[in-house]
């Protein structure tokens, strides 16, 4: 009888000023065979905290965009199976066990989607567009890479079969209004670079209709109103990100 070869797991995290998140996420990843953190020269204690973990390799690289940063992290991985988390994501014990089981199956898919529970401060946001949120977090390195043209909300390109995990990630994206606002503006500014590469010329439609549609779609069609005040805040900030995108695009075109 030939026993299946043991499969090893590399966990990857990219960081910038994540001192509030880095310890919990590294604790959650302790079951992985290899843990690598790629830090963008954080100005807080992220690097020091990550360096205190004996089972963690941490390297620093100047941030250019999310796709490049993630592909660089992938290049450092020693093992085929990759678990790529954001610092504000958490694994439940059930999800850890499911991942460990999946990677040792001979008929495993090349990549797995995982659904996420979006946490508004410390409570789950049930609607506002997040009820169907899913993303690939577990995959085989040789079958995947991040699309260089998607520099924010980066897309993983997968060759081979995809499947989905049963258990959910916990996503602590929203801690307070100001932090999330700055994150959304930053994402909008990065998205402007994508629009520039697509030769988008911003006009009235982009400046006013697109942000309004973003808000109304999430607040009405995606039932954000059922989240009460939280829904208003999240839908507004996501619309703000769209507005910031095209304002930044305008600046790029004008050379400012």
Quickly list DSSP for 38-104: EE---SSSHHHHHHT-TTEEEEE---S-HHHHHHHHHHH--SSEEEEEETTEE--HHHHHHHHHHTT
Q: Read off the pLDDT of each residue in 83-92 and give the average, rounded to a whole number.
A: 97
Residues 22-67: tens digit of each pLDDT = 999 999 999 999 999 999 999 999 999 999 999 999 999 999 999 9
What is the C-alpha separation between 242 and 248, in angstroms, rounded?
A: 10
Evaluate the CA torsion angle 74, 78, 84, 86 in order and state its sign. Answer: negative
pLDDT at 2: 45
Q: Read off the pLDDT of each residue in 141-166 and give the average, rounded to a whole number.
A: 92
pLDDT band at 254 (very low <50, low <70, confident <90, very high): confident
- Residue 19 Ramachandran class (φ > 0 left, ψ -120 to 50 alpha, else beta): alpha
pTM: 0.91
Give the CATH fold of the 9-173 domain: Spore Coat Polysaccharide Biosynthesis Protein SpsA; Chain A (3.90.550)
Q: Give the burial class of 197: count Cβ atoms within 10 A of its Cβ; 0-12 exposed, 13-18 middle, 19 or more buried.
A: exposed
pLDDT, averaged across the chain: 94
Domain boundaries, the chain: 9-173, 177-254
Asked if pLDDT for residue 5 goes beyond 80, the answer is no
pLDDT band at 108 (very low <50, low <70, confident <90, very high): confident
- What percent of the chain stands above pLDDT 90? 86
Q: Read off the pLDDT of each residue in 106-134 and give the average, rounded to a whole number.
A: 91
Residues 194-248: tens digit of each pLDDT = 999 899 999 999 999 999 999 999 999 999 999 999 999 999 999 999 999 999 9
pLDDT at 4: 56
Choose among 37, 42, 44: nearest CA to 84. Answer: 37
What is the C-alpha separation between 28 and 92, in angstroms, rounded?
A: 8
pLDDT at 1: 39
């Amino acid at each position: 009888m030939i026993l299946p070869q043991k499969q090893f797991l590399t966990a990857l995290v990219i960081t910038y000023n994540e001192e509030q998140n880095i310890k919990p996420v590294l604790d959650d990843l302790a079951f992985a065979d290899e843990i690598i953190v790629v830090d963008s020269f954080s100005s807080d204690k992220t690097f020091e905290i990550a360096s205190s973990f004996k089972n963690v390799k941490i390297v620093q690289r100047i941030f250019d965009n999310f796709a490049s940063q993630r592909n660089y992290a992938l290049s450092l991985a020693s093992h085929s199976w990759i678990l790529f988390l954001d610092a504000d994501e958490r694994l439940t014990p059930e999800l850890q066990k499911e991942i460990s089981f999946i990677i040792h199956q001979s008929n495993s898919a090349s990549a797995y989607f995982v659904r996420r529970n979006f946490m508004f401060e410390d409570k789950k946001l049930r609607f506002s567009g997040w009820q169907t949120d899913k993303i690939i977090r577990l995959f085989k390195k040789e079958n995947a890479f991040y699309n260089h043209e998607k520099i924010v909300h980066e897309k993983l390109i997968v060759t081979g079969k995809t499947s989905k995990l049963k258990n959910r990630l916990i996503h602590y994206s929203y801690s307070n209004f100001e932090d999330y606002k700055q994150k959304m503006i930053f994402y909008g500014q990065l998205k402007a670079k994508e629009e520039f590469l697509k030769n988008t010329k911003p006009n009235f439609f982009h400046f006013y209709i697109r942000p309004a549609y973003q808000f109304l779609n999430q607040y009405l069609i995606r039932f954000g109103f059922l989240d009460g005040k939280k829904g208003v805040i999240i839908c507004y900030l996501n619309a703000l990100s769209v507005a910031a995108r095209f304002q930044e695009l305008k600046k790029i075109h004008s050379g400012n």
